[in-house]
Structure 1
């Protein structure tokens, strides 16, 4: 194979191919050495391309005819194309041909790329000035060429490395020296050239040591201290000693403080050694206190921080490593009064203590036999620690001094002698997130239910022109309100407890009135042309309705007038409001759902966004809820599926995959239509209900099912949840209603958080679960333990008597 074939590609020069021109030059039998080979070389020269240059180089090096070789050389010397020069340089680098070497030397040619070839040719041509100003990319190739087989090239490469003018190139060379563990060859170059990098700081420090200019670092700031400490731990004895010299001679206060911090926060032994030698003490009291404590200078610490408040504030803000060091020194001190450093002097500090802090605190109190202080923690720490403390106190045959505390302790002691559940996974396994408390049978059809926002009362809209106000805490009727005609279609409470109700008609069209009751008086708010599909309070004076007459209307309750009306091209099945952070917040947008989703502004009822109107695949949406960020909408469909729709920048709702939240994925039987969807942001839970008797509660973060709850009855017709999310009412087609306590959702967090964070509202549901015989016995013991704790914690709290509860039992609601 021809040696030069690798440098050419198939191409043509005028009407000739490269191979044909090569033949004209190298076939002396046909063409001799005269005119035709000369013409062929002229054609190649005029072509002035890399592939034609290869043939000229071939003729220059391998033609048996001296005349042809001379002509080829002349043509190469006249070449000014950088691409052609690059090709000649490449062939020379590969062949190391002496004739080409001499040609490059005389012409002083330099290749443009690649970088390694450019550097090699610059060295060959002695064009060093091209390299002195080069960036950091030239350093690696030059370093390799310093060890080249050609001593001339190696010598010239070293010369360039010792004369670099670009700061980045200098810094990179110094970095290689440091990275290769102080390469002797590069070290000699650094010394000869006197290179001084400005960055990175650790390399600069090492170069200064290498150049024996240690005193340059005495005036440096805090940023140099970590690098110096690192060097002190290295195996290079000379550099380590120089680093110690600098640390002992630091001039700036900030640098000394950084050295001090390294000892305190990282327990750095070298830093402590240096601090001790220079006898340095920071001016800040917090640092002085922690220094005295960590160095076991107890008397000096006591004099400075006799209340332990300084070190306690340091501990609260400290990172884990420093906290661990403080805890070790605390235990070593043997001082009981030092416990307040991590526990504080009041219960509020328990809230901020980590699990490691509490473990240490409890264990230390046990070692000190501080039983009285340990007993007080029972009501503050998490359940698992509280149980451990009670068991420890029981083993010591200890009892509280006061009678009421002794009663609580005896009850707790009896519980902890048996198995109890403390693992959160087990808790979620045995606790149902919804507790069925009561069943109420109504002789007439239940069309709608609403919870009062201020009282334990539900309004029940019936098919006989009456609204029943049922007190679910007492289990008795409060009042019965009547309308002049028609059955009750929808009921709702305003925030001020005013009740509104709408008529229900069987015909598709007909006048439908909206009635209200306030302070015992009935009034008519207005009327629509067909049945009302939803009625919702916006604030104390504004209500919003949707109807089968394809209207969206806001009403002023005080003046009994319409505020704004929007005629739609669909009738909405219902309305969803954004999730508000507080009850006092007022929404600005609403979503209507039908065979699609439309977003409207509340101020003027103008449309803001919607799903595509050409989407033939849309299912009828019966219920829905916004996600906490307001950018997504969870829709419950007629076919029992859930979809999550995302609002994009073009103000379109785009459906995204949501199979993980579908009850059909987790159920082997037909679940029917989706009747309700509700998100509980603070609990991070999603509740969905289905017409064939299923309520599913899932974790919103990942769709994992917590519980699937079967609902008794023929068909689940409605599901209503109180505004605060504590209670749920479920209506069935068999004229019955069940009442559920949803505060059981809050029970698992009680097992994880400190008992000091519990609130009185936890108590009713804990009591209910603790007394429920269907709950796993060890789980009931844990709940009973929590009940005793809460009862004692809130024994003087008047809120307990006012916390709403559902009276347990079965009731017959008779409406006359």
Structure 2
């Protein structure tokens, strides 16, 4: 029975205050009373606050379609789960009265989260319209007969699993185990293991491996171990029992992994991530005499060298030895650029502004003079990816070299500069577009023919070095060390962000939107090409020698820094990608990743605990790509000869 005061209150024609009204709705939801419901319905006043408000709307709203709208649908579904309360019957009747394709989809989604709604769906045979979503719904709600009838071969479930999120995949795994007749391995991996495995987390991969072991599918399990990250694969080696691969190389890698401690592998991953030097010092080449310039070959691990003593040569970086030497020059070789295909172009330089100098192509032990200039060369650079080059001269001219070696002479006045009082101190190129930046007393950007000035500007300073970071943007540095980002605005180059540093080398990292700066003592800085914010820096240089040149290899894998004391330091930049590589599934790796690991293994300061893990990763990659590559000879894969070695030109 209701309390006397409540009975008096219910006879009032007007609803009570908000607090009392909420209390009355809460009382009815706890213990339904017909007289209380009659009064609440007569007042037509919903509760002012949740959760009572949602339930009261289900009772009072006569329009079922309005109640099934987005604003009140959740409250309607919650009410429908109350199986021992009149509210549940009201909600279920209104759901059925308002059924629409949209409401069915929403109800089925809600049923996956609240199984109390499943009986309503089963009774009225409600399911999602999309076949893939429908098989998931049948499986997760225990409607196995409907699932089997719709998806007898599991193809729809395979599609559903591939597109599901992590939480849904976990639910599907539990449901699949309960069915007992599904090919769980095929559903988990699908028909394209290379695509699926990178998307799977460690729990899924471990579950898959145990399923394969339970079925005795050892070759399939071994293939799976070779596809996952080694830190995960090491933990699966205990599943094999006495089985071993048949091929000799496979057994060697297999036994190596079985001997390794899985937990040590995980510690190594953490240690490598913390260590991550980004740029790893690989080796030092000690030359007998000053080296003026160096240039990486675009197609092999080779380094062309320009020497002071009228000599140039080529060093094989994987063997640490001189493989070509040319003493055909009349003057000091100031500049060199390797054009690929076993060929390089060298430019002579003298302190005498009137002495004649030459551009010489060297290849296969022979040489050919491409151009004679009445004065020293002042710059030399590769200008296209097919071997064309550009040079500057003290007489105020630009020399445009074609891949076949023909040279076109372009006077500076064609660019609006003044050759009788100016000359190009440096020339740099954007290889993809062929555009050139000529650095005289002011900077001019021109097309590949040096026939049209596209933009000019000095950035408020005398520019000593420049590098393209895009066809319309450059990073430049003054002789005093001010660094600026210049963006093209019409025909003007507009200064952007400014940073400071005594720059002796300036290069753009391909595909990274970053630049590498080298100061006069050999300290390396990596800067964002747009903001010039510092991304990474090496330890300060510990030498009194001065940097003479600094150049990247064409793909940005290696950095060479030359010093006036006669040595060149080589750095491996591929370790920049090491943090992502060490935990990447092997199925997502490419042959070039072998070079990253090879370079990291030669690092002098590599943590001891990481060496074994990198060795396993290296051998797995080498075994994986054994039929695809010639190990160790391409630029992407080359491991530089580590340590220090003397080379006499």
TM-score where L is the length of structure 2:
0.76
Q: How far did 1:608 drift?
A: 1.7
Cα distance in 2, alignment partners of residues 273 and 651 from structure 1 = 72
Counterpart in the other structure of 2:107: 259
Is contact 1:696-1:709 (8 Å) kept? Answer: no
Counterpart in the other structure of 2:151: 305
Question: Quick check: 1:694 aligned with 2:540?
Answer: no
Is contact 2:454-2:491 (8 Å) kept? Answer: no
Cα distance in 2, alignment partners of residues 290 and 769 from structure 1 = 46
2:555 aligns to what SS in structure 1?
coil
**Structure 1 runs not aligned, ≥5 long:** 1-177, 183-187, 194-202, 579-584, 665-672
Q: 1:428-577, aligned counterparts within 5 Å?
A: 428-483=273-328, 485-494=330-339, 498-508=343-353, 511-517=356-362, 520=366, 522-525=368-371, 527=373, 530-540=376-386, 542-556=388-402, 558=404, 559-562=406-409, 565-568=414-417, 571-577=423-429
Q: How far did 1:526 drift?
A: 5.5
Question: Quick check: 1:654 aligned with 2:506?
Answer: no
1:800 aligns to what SS in structure 2?
coil
Is contact 2:360-2:367 (8 Å) kept? Answer: no
Write out per-residue CA displacement over residues 225-255 of structure 1, whole angstroms, 9 at most, x where no aligned residue: 6842443326999887655334324554454
1:379 aligns to what SS in structure 2?
helix
Q: How far did 1:479 drift?
A: 2.9
Describe the shift of the 1:208–1:378 C-alpha distance in structure 2 as closer, same or farther (beyond 3 A).
closer
| Correspondent of 1:213 among 54, 63, 85 | 63
1:378 aligns to what SS in structure 2?
helix
Cα distance in 1, alignment partners of residues 209 and 300 from structure 2 = 46
Q: How far did 1:388 drift?
A: 2.7
Q: 1:22-101, aligned counterparts within 5 Å?
A: none
Question: Quick check: 1:606 aligned with 2:456?
Answer: no
Q: How far did 1:712 drift?
A: 5.6
Describe the shift of the 1:328–1:547 C-alpha distance in structure 2 as closer, same or farther (beyond 3 A).
farther
Cα distance in 1, alignment partners of residues 528 and 266 from structure 2 = 21
| Correspondent of 2:505 among 676, 680, 688 | 676
Cα distance in 2, alignment partners of residues 643 and 334 from structure 1 = 67
Cα distance in 2, alignment partners of residues 630 and 206 from structure 1 = 66
Cα distance in 1, alignment partners of residues 282 and 123 from structure 2 = 73
Q: How far did 1:279 drift?
A: 0.8
Deviates more, 1:405-414 or 1:418-427: 418-427
Counterpart in the other structure of 2:13: none
Is contact 1:699-1:706 (8 Å) kept? Answer: no
RMSD value over aligned CA atoms? 4.4
Write out per-residue CA displacement over residues 298-347 of structure 1, whole angstroms, 9 at most, x where no aligned residue: 45534543443322222222344433432342454466731432322443
TM-score where L is the length of structure 1:
0.62
Counterpart in the other structure of 1:245: 93
Deviates more, 1:416-425 or 1:497-506: 416-425
Counterpart in the other structure of 2:16: none
Describe the shift of the 1:522–1:275 C-alpha distance in structure 2 as closer, same or farther (beyond 3 A).
same
Q: How far did 1:783 drift?
A: 0.8
Counterpart in the other structure of 2:586: 755
Is contact 1:248-1:274 (8 Å) kept? Answer: no
Cα distance in 2, alignment partners of residues 205 and 681 from structure 1 = 62
Cα distance in 1, alignment partners of residues 474 and 266 from structure 2 = 37
1:802 aligns to what SS in structure 2?
coil
Is contact 1:336-1:368 (8 Å) kept? Answer: no
2:257 aligns to what SS in structure 1?
helix
Q: 1:137-286, aligned counterparts within 5 Å?
A: 210=60, 212-214=62-64, 224=69, 227-233=72-78, 243-250=91-98, 252-263=100-111, 267-269=113-115, 272-282=118-128, 284-286=130-132
Cα distance in 2, alignment partners of residues 361 and 539 from structure 1 = 43
**Structure 2 runs not aligned, ≥5 long:** 1-21, 27-38, 45-52
Q: How far did 1:786 drift?
A: 0.9
How many aligned positions are there? 588
Describe the shift of the 1:332–1:444 C-alpha distance in structure 2 as closer, same or farther (beyond 3 A).
same
Cα distance in 1, alignment partners of residues 72 and 308 from structure 2 = 83
The structure with more helix, counted as a fraction of residues: 1
Is contact 1:622-1:636 (8 Å) kept? Answer: yes
The structure with more strand, counted as a fraction of residues: 2
Write out per-residue CA displacement over residues 441-499 of structure 1, whole angstroms, 9 at most, x where no aligned residue: 33343221112222333221122333212333344433333445222121113356542
Cα distance in 1, alignment partners of residues 510 and 177 from structure 2 = 43
Cα distance in 2, alignment partners of residues 278 and 303 from structure 1 = 18
Write out per-residue CA displacement over residues 88-144 of structure 1, whole angstroms, 9 at most, x where no aligned residue: xxxxxxxxxxxxxxxxxxxxxxxxxxxxxxxxxxxxxxxxxxxxxxxxxxxxxxxxx
Q: How far did 1:288 drift?
A: 3.2
Counterpart in the other structure of 2:556: 725
Cα distance in 2, alignment partners of residues 760 and 642 from structure 1 = 37
1:402 aligns to what SS in structure 2?
coil
From the CA coordinates, give the structure whose radius of gyration is larger.
Answer: 1
Is contact 2:597-2:618 (8 Å) kept? Answer: yes
Cα distance in 1, alignment partners of residues 350 and 295 from structure 2 = 20
User: RCO greater where, 1 or 2, for CA within 8 Å and sep 6 or more?
Assistant: 2
Counterpart in the other structure of 1:151: none
Question: Quick check: 1:814 aligned with 2:645?
Answer: no
Counterpart in the other structure of 2:19: none
Is contact 1:412-1:788 (8 Å) kept? Answer: no
Q: How far did 1:795 drift?
A: 3.1
Counterpart in the other structure of 2:536: 705
Counterpart in the other structure of 1:792: 623
Write out per-residue CA displacement over residues 547-570 of structure 1, whole angstroms, 9 at most, x where no aligned residue: 444444534454433478525255
Q: How far did 1:501 drift?
A: 1.9
Write out per-residue CA displacement over residues 570-610 of structure 1, whole angstroms, 9 at most, x where no aligned residue: 544434444xxxxxx72254444567654434353314242
Describe the shift of the 1:251–1:749 C-alpha distance in structure 2 as closer, same or farther (beyond 3 A).
closer
